[in-house]
Amino acid sequence: MKTEKMLKSLLIPVISFMALQSCAQKDNTVKPKKETKTMTTNKANLDTATFGTGCFWCTEAVFQELEGVEKVTSGYSGGSVANPTYRQVCTGTTGHAECLNIVYDTTKISFDELLEVFWQVHDPTTLNRQGADAGTQYRSVIFYHNDEQKAKAEKYKTALDKSGAWDNPVVTAIDKFDVFYPAEDYHQNYYTNNPEQGYCQFVIRPKVEKFEKVFKNKLKKH
């Protein structure tokens, strides 16, 4: 039943979240490296989802608005280099994807609902590309933390492919979570902290506004 509901919501015109300019134009000032963090959650009712949807600035702002989401951290996962810097990840040689580590309250929002947002806030059919951003660091990926998350991700991916929600096949990778490295401090809460910056006004804001219209019943009450 949950799969059918998600498919119905995605079979309506898929929201266009394509970037108007390259995310790679970000300030890539080198900051001190962070320590390795596995981002495990021990508090009752809290769980973690880790998604790669291209530029983390854009989708960080989206997931932060969801009721039940406790914390969203931008960072890197899926690569072979420990404690990578943004500049290193941008070379595409570390194997890491820009991604989000999302801590959420399972009594308020489910992994299924997070997946529904995940599929709609980026294009899961473009290999190693989101809009003007190209490279393996911008790949579409779900890093599953347990067998249940893996099964759900695979089920929805298969169902979406069969549904014809997109003209092209879904290429989202479904990989086992290993380690998450938080990005430099200036990447965190970027949209909130830099609302007047050009990228925020012309790229992120339109995406957030479209998201708010589609998912208005899932937003935090302000």
User: What is the set of active-site residues?
Assistant: 55
Task: From 206, 208, 215, select the one nearest 114 (Cα to Cα).
Answer: 215
Going from the C-alpha of 168 to that of each of 110, 159, 162, 164, 220, the distances in angstroms are 27, 14, 11, 8, 33
Distance between CA 48 and CA 101 in Å, rounded? Answer: 7
Cβ neighbours of residue 39 closer than 8 Å, sequence gap 6 or more: 48, 50, 73, 101, 103, 180
Tokens of 17: 């979240």
Confirm if 104 and 69 have CB atoms less than 8 A apart: yes
Confirm if 51 and 141 have CB atoms less than 8 A apart: yes
Confirm if 85 and 31 have CB atoms less than 8 A apart: yes
Tell me the pairing of strands 173-176 and 140-144: parallel
